[in-house]
Structure 1
Amino acid sequence: MISLYAPAKLTLSLEIMGIRDDGYHLIEAEMVSLDLMDELEVSDDRGNGAIEVSIEYLDQPWGFDTESSVPDNENNLVSKALNLLNVKKSIHIRKKIPPGAGLGGGSADAAAVLRWGGFKDFVAASRLGADVPFCLQGGRAIVAGIGEKITPVAYLEQTFTLLIPPFSCSTLEVYDHWDRIGGPRGENGNDLEPAALDLYPALRKWRDQLGEATGVRPRLAGSGSTWFVEGSFPQEGHHVFSTIPALEDN
């Protein structure tokens, strides 16, 4: 059995640069890897020549039903990554990254599999999901295009405090809503923040709670639902994580 590690990603800034003819949004974003990780256990298939993915949820005080949020069949990004590698394996995912929180959990898992397989094609990886190429690279990078253009930048050790609301946000719905409300610019480094707040009004409560507790203006992680501030502010409900450099190939 082989163990792989899949670090969460945190989007520090996100600007929408345009929309392609096929509807995909062009972005420019800065992303970092965190020491919040899923663990994947890879073993040989059971002799049936099939890909098998199972999921176990660990240490997740997020307050919402995570177990219905992640598919454990062919729709799981790990299954799609194995298909891209043309490999049949059984993979057990020990999840710590909350789904639908803007932290790239599914993309991180898929990238861990691709990294293990020595896969380096960011364009092909982006077809699995826009965050997969960054998660494949890891560390700290500027991300452009539809996620496939990765420019690594020097690693910087930082600590962030996260507040994760007890609900998830749909990335697709937030992008669609951004289009519907006229493509506003975010005043806090994230163009998706106005759309997410309009679509999920409850986000305001959690933003204000973190801001009042820290004295720092919170930023939304990607399309949400996580809010974060730089620095360590440990208290009940806060989750403190640090940046990590890019992982070596597993």
Structure 2
Amino acid sequence: MIFGKKQQETRERTMIEARAKINLTLDVTGKREDGYHLVEMVMQSVDLHDDVRVTVVRGEKKPRGIVLSCSLPFLPTDERNLAYRAAELFYKETGTTLETCEIFIEKRIPIAAGLAGGSTDAAAVLRALNQLHDTGLSRDRLCEIGLKLGADVPYCLRGGTMLAEGIGEKLTQLADMPHCYVVLCKPPFAVSTREVYQEIDSVPLTQRPDTEGMKQALENGDYQGVCGRLMNVMETVTATKRHQIGEIRAVLRENGADATLMSGSGPTVYGLFSDRNAADAAATVLARRFSETFLTETVQ
């Protein structure tokens, strides 16, 4: 009598550093008929990152589908989590057979902070699964898939210094931002991006970013020129309701920041520093009041 061989269980794993982003500029230029706002923004990767570990298990007796876990126990680990949805969408779009996909996220990027924490985790899952399943999807194709998850996901798949237009999906590589240190400080509250976008329609925007000037400063490697052109129209909405945003900016300036700005829809505020010691000192001062304070640096 001949018996079939028992299928051998195999496990393949990879780990992706999912980096946060900051906005050097953010302008809202219009609104589409479907309600999505049109933006023009310059974004920059920083070294603060989540670790996203993805394991593909084949040959299990009882495949378990997508299994997500996280170092923060209060975060959802089902379809409410963008990283979970990224895995679901990857398997749907590629037709790859799903047996068991284990995802573990070591969170460091603050939640609902204007730093693309959820988007960058989703981008990391797409990159990891493309690698583990050897599907050979191009970066452009991954970005097409990522856009279905959120407007920031394509940027997070590329990273570096980028101009984003449209709803955030039209990306243009810019000259690398001159290296500097970045102090990030998130006050103890969250901000709803959707609510900020809804409110910005009724706010007169008297000041707008000099996007062309920012692009030229980057092209020239002009750090001071970059610092002088930081601008985010969403701060008009968020900072008027949350006085701590202005307070954090003031502390950063008082402690040697070359420039300060709120990132994304907030509430995280950052300061740019050319001097590491000054950045470290500023982070120390802020950390006494705000636990989610980080010293990091720009990366490409």
- Once the two structures are TM-superposed, the CA of residue 115 in structure 1 deviates from its matched residue by 2.1
More helix by share: 2
Work out whether 1:24 is the aligned partner of 2:46: no
Aligned to 1:173: 195
For structure 2, the residue ranges without an aligned partner over 5 or more in a row are 1-12, 131-136, 210-229, 288-292
Tell me the TM-score normalised to structure 2 length. 0.72
* Aligned counterparts of 2:252 and 2:127: Cα–Cα separation in 1: 35
Asked if residue 51 in structure 1 is aligned to residue 66 in structure 2, the reply is yes
SS in 1 for 2:71: strand
Deviates more, 1:183-192 or 1:138-147: 183-192
Measured after TM superposition, the shift of residue 183 of structure 1 is: 5.1
Greater Cα shift, 123-132 or 76-85: 123-132
Task: Measure the CA separation in 2 of the matches of 1:214 and 1:168.
Answer: 27
Equivalent residue number for residue 146 of structure 1: 167
Aligned to 1:131: 152
What TM-score comes out, normalization by structure 1 length? 0.85
- 2-structure distance, mates of 1:3, 1:125: 19
Deviation per CA, 1:6-58: give whole Å up to 9, x if none. Answer: 0111111101111001111111111111111111111235633421111104x
* Kept after mapping to 2: 8 A contact 1:184/1:194: no
- Amino acid of the structure 1 residue aligned with 2:197: Y
Question: Identity of aligned pairs, percent?
Answer: 35
| Residues 1-250 of structure 1: pairs in structure 2 closer than 5 A | 1-44=13-56, 47-57=62-72, 68=74, 70-86=75-91, 88=98, 89-116=101-128, 117=130, 118=137, 120-121=140-141, 122-156=143-177, 157-182=179-204, 185=207, 189-214=231-256, 216-231=258-273, 232=276, 233-235=279-281, 236=284, 237=287, 238-245=293-300
Give the Cα separation in 2 of the matches to 1:164 and 1:28.
Answer: 24
Note the aligned Cα RMSD (angstroms). Answer: 2.1
2:187 is aligned with what amino acid?
A: P
Task: Give the Cα separation in 2 of the matches to 1:146 and 1:173.
Answer: 16
Query: In 1, distance between residues paired with 2:199 and 2:241?
Result: 7
SS, match of residue 29 in structure 2: strand
> For 1:99-136, what per-residue CA distance to the aligned partner results, in whole angstroms no more than 9, with x for missing partners?
11111111000011122314533343222112111001
Q: Could you say which residue in structure 2 is the equivalent of 1:60?
A: none
The count of aligned residue pairs is: 235
Structure 2: distance between partners of 1:222 and 1:184: 18
